[in-house]
A and B are shown apart, each in its own frame.
Chain A
Amino acid sequence: MFGFTAKQLTGVGIFLFVLFIGVPLIIGATGRWDFYFTLTSVALLAIASAGVWLTFYIGRINIGQGAFALIGAYVSAILVVKAGWSFWISLPAAGIFAAIVAILIGLPILRLRGVYFAMITLVLTQVVTLTALALPITNGAKGISNIPLPSGVSLFGIPILPDFAGMENTKLAFYYTACILMVITYAALYRLVNSRLGHLCRSMQQNEELASSIGVNIAYIRIVIFAISSFFGGIGGAMFGSIAQSVYPSSFQVADSVNFMLNCFLGGLGFVFGPMLGTLVLYFGWDLLFEFGKYQMLIYSTILILIIRFLPNGLLSLRFGKGGDK
């Protein structure tokens, strides 16, 4: 079916089952309700990390995803609070706005490679944070707080999306929303990687000059990929703002940009689902080590070092053997 093997389909089936039925059942049984928020965060950060992974796919180290997440969070917050839009319309708008910014910035900077691109995106994160601090529309240092919860949407009188404000348990609703977004993101990512565009990207990752010489329009592909990547960042950020019901210039900063990148490394650059696993381990791991009190950071970083020391190609390389590439 659609060129998938039975094994792959079973895997996806199990994954979806665990995500949408298994996790709520386990949480219901153990009573660990706090895990909902952590897992929601993982899903949203994994969406943004997917974008970073995609820029890795064209051979660029992207330490700027925090900038686009922050842009997304602000666009959505401003549209909801100041223009009175429904959150569900502001969500794609946030993604699209982030993508447009990415196109404008990408035109000059995507010519850069290696550490130079990494560095300029890092500076970009700083620039966006400082811009948010300075602009009147973002409310400067005071941030935007008291953002209303997503309202319901109905089409021809039939409710499609429920009103979050009227809900008893918004945790579950946010969890499902985030998971659905994440599944869509990774399905799109998988589709993209296995399309003609994906093949062209791989050829660029190997050697841009060569790709260019055989007629690949590398400038165009770079921009498209970077825009898609930033779209993911914008969506993840916007959703986060809605959960926290507030956005500050410090909501996403350099540390977040770096973490998005680390998620990709940890999961494995060669695997589409790498960033998802990386985010889960990095973010959830911190929460699990909560019991260790002041030694939390020490143990967390030691585990991190050990993982990279013994699995330098990411966690997923464990399954496919050393140096296994996709």
Chain B
Amino acid sequence: MQRRTLFKAALTAVALTSFQATMAFAENPVLKIGFVGVTSGPAAAWGISNQRSMETRAAWINETGGYTIGDTTYDIEIVSFDDQKDPKRAIAGMEKMAQEGIHYVVGPNVDDGAAAVRPVAEANGIMYFPYAFPKSLYQAPASNAVLGMVANYQSGPAIYKHLMENEGVKTVAFIAANESDPLSQRDGGVEAAKALGLEVVSDNVTYQVDTTDFTPVLTPVMRSRPDLLVLSGVSPANAPQLIRSARELGFEGLISTETAQDAGVLAEGAGDLANGFISVGGASTPELASPMMNEFVDRYTKMFGEYNDESNTKVYALEYILETLKADPSAIDNVEAFQATMDSFEAPNPYMNGDAKLRYVGSTSFGQKRQVAVPLVVNVYQDGAFETLFVAEVD
């Protein structure tokens, strides 16, 4: 009975959504932008915050009359594919995007998926914006991937340096989940810390992603008494528990990570124990967020009931795609034109106060401009909200 009702509800909802969709898209020609990422299962939070920020922005654009590229005004439609964090599915998703005639795709969310879709994307002329850090994705001969955020090997050194200079941090310990992405990030972090002259006192403790009690995991790390504990590539689900366990074990040093977190999740999971926790975010703090950012958050909250702070960093990819297309309308179905435009593209950053710019960077890390310039905003958690620690730029 319960199942039947749910099923009915689901069907009705689907019918309604598609009905609304047809209504909204009746006037302008439609520009489809793809999303391939994980929106179900354990890592659902990553992909969902992505997908929702894209959908929020698209609905906003459509409501205000569409987006003008060249002489045409388009309505934006987001086509999402759930890859279930499986590289095999991610390939299928990219094929689906090619089938839909889409040339610009956001995602995938993890290393293996991003590597697996590369052949398909390059064969079908698709630019994609993964949230994965392996350099081989962005270095020549790879041509079609654009890193959609700040990589940990870029943000990590900035954070460590800041903490060395301002907090007198001398020793650092790393802990990572026993999975590809976090382990790679940990190795990058260790390298960066050593290059800065920090003493790495522990870098080989790992935990399984399904760990429910972090006390035994953290006990040996705590024994090395580091000034700074880095949670490499930590998922938003694990971060509060790790912080809580570390603090309960009597750890008094600093804790930081290079991934984006959600203040609400930290507040619920660790409460006051999370005070002082350092993470990377977008323009999330009041003094940095532009009126447009605030409106985005409002609309997101209205549409989905609850905001996710991770979306602060995930709002950018779609904006970059659209702005670049606006700068060069011929790129709309021609990724070579897009790639050529990337080298010189520049536009004001609408989500941040001040004169920050949207442009492509990455020459230092990848030898070609294959990264969006997201302001590197380092946040510190304090009583349920993030405060800006410092802002830096990536080149």
Q: Which residues does A use to contact B, with CB under 8 Å?
A: 32-34, 36-38, 41, 130, 133, 140-143, 145-146, 149, 170, 240, 243-246, 248-251, 255-256, 286-287, 290, 292-299, 302, 305
Contact = CB atoms under 8 A, between A and B. Distances in A.
Nearest to B17: A293
Nearest to A31: B99
A33 B184 contact: no
Given A143-B115, A248-B112, A240 B88 contact: yes
What is the interface of chain A mostly: helix, strand, loop, or mixed?
helix
Interface of B: 3, 6-7, 10, 13-14, 17, 39-40, 80-82, 84-89, 91-92, 95-96, 98-99, 110-112, 115-116, 118-120, 123, 134, 136, 178-181, 183-184, 187
Contacts, number: 110
Contacts of A250: 85, 87, 110, 112, 179-180
8 contacts: A143-B111, A145-B115, A149-B119, A246-B112, A248-B112, A250-B110, A286-B89, A296-B82
B115 A249 contact: no
Contact of B112 (A38, A251, A296, A305): A251
A143 B91 contact: no
Contacts of B13: 295
What is the interface of chain B mostly: helix, strand, loop, or mixed?
helix
Given A246-B87, A255-B86, A293-B17, 12 more contacts: A130-B178, A143-B112, A143-B180, A240-B88, A246-B115, A246-B116, A248-B111, A250-B85, A250-B110, A255-B84, A293-B14, A296-B82
Given A34-B96, A255-B86, A290-B96, A141 B91 contact: no
Nearest to B187: A141
A302 B112 contact: no
Given A244-B91, A293-B80, A249 B180 contact: yes
Contacts of B123: 170
Contacts of A133: 178-180, 183
A297 B81 CA distance: 12
Contacts of A33: 95, 98-99
A292 B84 CA distance: 15
Contacts of B82: 296-297
A38 B92 contact: yes
B183 A287 contact: no
Interface centre among B92, B111, B183 (most CB of A within 10 A): B92
A34 B36 CA distance: 14
Contacts of B6: 298
Contacts of A36: 95
A141 B92 contact: no
Interface centre among B17, B40, B91, B184 (most CB of A within 10 A): B91
Contact of A302 (B7, B115, B136): B7
B57 to A, nearest CB: 17
A146 B91 contact: no
Nearest to A146: B136
Nearest to B182: A141
Contact of A145 (B39, B86, B136): B136
Contacts of A34: 92, 95-96, 98-99
A250 B13 CA distance: 34
A254 B155 CA distance: 33
B112 A243 contact: no
Q: Nearest 4 pairs between A and B by C-beta?
A: A141-B183, A248-B112, A34-B99, A34-B95
Contacts of B110: 250
Nearest to B7: A302
Contact of A244 (B39, B116, B136, B187): B116
A37 B14 CA distance: 27
Given A37-B91, A142-B184, A244-B119, A32 B99 contact: yes
Contacts of B92: 34, 37-38, 41, 287
Contacts of B39: 294
Contacts of A240: 88
